[in-house]
A and B are shown apart, each in its own frame.
Chain A
Amino acid sequence: MADPPPGPDPDAPTPAERRLADLLAEVRGAPVPEAPDLTHRVVRNARWQRGVREALSSLGALSAALAEAAATLLGLHRKHDGGDPR
C-alpha cells in the first residue's frame, strides 16, 4: 500500500514568516552609514585619554608617596616626643 501523501511540514515557515524574512533581508542589504574618520578620531581620543590617565595615575602615586612620607615623619616625631623622658 502506498504511503499517504505527506502533510504540511509543521516546521515550515508560514507566509507571514516568509514575508518578514524577505523584508528583513531588504533591511540587511541596506547601505550602512559610513564613518570614514571614526578610526582616526577614536585613536586620537584614546591617545590623549591615555595621557591624562597616566598623568593622573602618576599624580596619584606621587600624592600617595607624599602622604606616606608625611605619615612616616609624623609617626617618627610622635615616637620621638613620646620617647623623651624629660
Chain B
Amino acid sequence: MSATAVAPDIGDDTELARRAAQGDLGAFEVLVARHRDVVVRVATRIVGRDDAEDVAQDALLRAFHNLRGYRGDAPFRSWLLRIVHNLSLNELERRRPVPVDVGEETPADLPESAQPASSLERSERRDRLAMKIRALRPEHRAVLVLRDLEGMPYEDIARITDAPMGSVKGRLHRARSELMDLLRNNTYDWEIPGGRPASGT
C-alpha cells in the first residue's frame, strides 16, 4: 500500500474541517494533503486511472462546499469517502458500459519478459486482476475495494456506502464469488503455487 500523504499535524480533522467551513483555506489545504492519497486510490480502483483524478478533484471540491454539513460525529475520512464513492458510482453510471475482456490468459500469451518471478510479470498480473475487479458490478466493486484493498472496517463501509452492515457483508461475499468466477477463466493467474488451479469456494 502506498505511503500516506505527509502532511503537517495541525489539529485533528474535525477541528480542521470546522475552520475550513468558516473559510480557512489553509485548514482545508491540510485536510486535502492529509486525505488526497486515499481519495485518489479509491477513485482509481473504482473508476480506473483515466477518470480517477477528475473524480478525486470533484469530490474534494464538493467536500469543501459542504463542510458545514460535516458534524464530526463520524471520521472525516468516511464522510469524504462517501462523496468519493457516490461520485465514482455516478461516473460509472454515466459511462457507456465498456466490455471488459476477462478471457483466459496463459504464459504463452505473454511476452518473454513477463515470465514468472520477474517484477514485470507481477505488475502485469496486478493489472489483469485490476481489470477483472473493474468487471464487477459497481456496488460490489466499491465494497471489495473498501474492504479488501483499503482494509476498512465494515462500520465505515456501511457509512460510506449508506447501506446496512448486512448488505455490505452480502455485497462483499458476492463480489468475492464473482471475482473468483472471473479468475477461474484464467488458469494462469488462478493457479495455486505447487498445485492445480484453485477450485471450490
Q: What is the count of residue pairs linking A and B with beta-carbon distances less than 8 angstroms?
A: 103
Specify the main secondary structure of chain B where it touches its partner.
Answer: helix
Q: Which residues of B contact A39 (CB under 8 A)?
A: 29, 32-33, 36
Q: Tell me if A63 counts as interface (CB < 8 A to partner B).
A: no
Interface contact A35-B129, CB-CB below 8 Å = no
A33 / chain B contacts, CB cutoff of 8 Å: 40, 44, 49, 52-53
A24 part of interface (Cβ distance < 8 Å): yes
Residues in A neighbouring B33, C-beta threshold 8 A: 39
Instruction: State which of B70-78, B110-118, B176-184 sits at the interface with chain A.
Output: B176-184
Q: Are A20 and B130 in contact (CB under 8 A)?
A: no
Query: A47 to B25, Cβ gap below 8 A?
Result: yes
Instruction: Check A16–B36 contact: CB distance below 8 A.
Output: no
Q: Considering the complex, which residues of chain A in the window 30-60 have a beta carbon less than 8 Å from any beta carbon of chain B?
A: 30-33, 35, 38-39, 41-43, 45-47, 49-50, 53
B19 → A minimal CB distance (Å): 14
B176 touching A20 by the CB < 8 A rule? yes
**CB of A55, distance to nearest CB on chain B (Å):** 14
Quick one: which of B2, B28, B129 contacts A43, CB cutoff 8 A?
B28
For the side of the interface on B, what is the size category? 35 or more
Check B91 for interface membership: any CB of A closer than 8 A: no
Known: A14-B200, A26-B129, A46-B64. A31 touches B180 (CB 8 A): no
Residue A19 lies at the interface, judged by CB distance under 8 Å to chain B: yes
Q: Are A30 and B130 in contact (CB under 8 A)?
A: yes
CB pair B122–A26 under 8 Å, yes or no, is yes
**Known contacts A29-B1, A35-B36, A46-B25; A16 and B57 CB within 8 A of each other:** no
Which 10 A-B pairs rank lowest in CB-CB distance, beginning with the nearest? A16-B198, A32-B2, A19-B198, A42-B60, A46-B64, A30-B126, A32-B41, A39-B32, A24-B148, A43-B29
Give A contacts to B, CB under 8 Å. 14-21, 23-24, 26-33, 35, 38-39, 41-43, 45-47, 49-50, 53
